[in-house]
């Protein structure tokens, strides 16, 4: 039983694009109530249920309280854009790095479409900064955006840092018409 129907969006994206694998270390941004984390726990084998496969790790972060879940570490009442939160994420990750960053985050909508779009774009850009610090080469970044004029900006930024960037719209998300996901795979090795 999933905590929220949003689980089906991630399941659908994963079954098509194969982003979560046993052994992966995952950051779930905007994790409350925890449905995406439930999916991640299963897919990365963080409980070690499949003893033949590698065991992964899931850390979820949200401004709200997140009810505990076996197989995940949650940072509740935490703003992902805050540098203290980012430090904490890095400290709980077993190697300080992640294979996958998921974000289903959304700011509270004001109803002013351009403003809401802009705020979510800013969140995505801030996550991209985090990804530069923690995402392993070859890693994957999936984030929700609301359609609007600045999507191409986010996509361009992603293309500088990932080899494969695409827009995905799961069927389970068709009711929320403005909502799409940007999926970026193959994080490039950082040049120093």
Contact positions vs ligand SAM (CB under 6 A):
3-4, 6-7, 30-36, 61-64, 79-81, 104-107
With both helix axes pointing from N to C terminus, report the angle between 113-134 and 151-161 in degrees, rounded to the nearest 10: 10
The catalytic residues are: 144
Nearer CB in complex with ligand SAM: 52/111: 111
What are the tokens at 3? 């905590």
Q: Which residue is nearest to ligand SAM (CB)?
A: 30
Report phi then psi at 109, rounded to 5.
-70, 135
Nearer CB in complex with ligand SAM: 22/126: 126
Q: How far is the CB of 49 from ligand SAM (least distance, A)?
A: 21
Nearer CB in complex with ligand SAM: 16/54: 16
Q: How far is the CB of 51 from ligand SAM (least distance, A)?
A: 27
Q: How far is the CB of 188 from ligand SAM (least distance, A)?
A: 26
Report phi then psi at 171, rounded to 5.
-60, -35
With contact defined as beta carbons under 8 Å apart, do 143 and 10 qualify? no
Q: How far apart are CA 17 and CA 44, in angstroms?
A: 15
Q: How far apart are CA 143 and CA 33, in angstroms?
A: 17
Q: How far is the CB of 100 from ligand SAM (least distance, A)?
A: 14
With contact defined as beta carbons under 8 Å apart, do 89 and 15 qualify? no
Nearer CB in complex with ligand SAM: 31/98: 31
Report the DSSP pairing between strands 179-187 and 162-168. antiparallel
């Amino acid at each position: 039983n999933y905590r929220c129907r949003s689980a089906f969006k991630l399941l659908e994206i994963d079954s098509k694009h194969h982003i979560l694998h046993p052994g992966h270390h995952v950051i779930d941004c905007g994790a409350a109530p925890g449905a995406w984390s439930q999916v991640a726990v299963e897919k990365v084998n963080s409980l070690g249920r499949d003893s033949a496969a590698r065991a992964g790790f899931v850390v979820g972060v949200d401004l709200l309280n997140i009810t505990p879940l076996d197989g995940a570490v949650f940072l509740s009442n935490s703003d992902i854009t805050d540098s203290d939160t980012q430090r904490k994420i890095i400290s709980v990750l077993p190697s300080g790095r992640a294979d996958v960053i998921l974000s289903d985050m959304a700011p509270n909508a004001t109803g002013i479409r351009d403003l809401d779009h802009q705020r979510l774009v800013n969140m995505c850009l801030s996550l991209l900064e985090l990804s530069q610090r923690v995402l392993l080469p070859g890693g994957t970044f999936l984030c929700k955006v609301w359609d609007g004029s600045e999507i191409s900006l986010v996509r361009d930024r992603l293309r500088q840092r990932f080899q494969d960037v695409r827009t995905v719209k799961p069927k389970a998300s068709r009711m929320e018409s403005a909502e799409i996901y940007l999926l970026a795979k193959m994080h490039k090795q950082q040049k120093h």
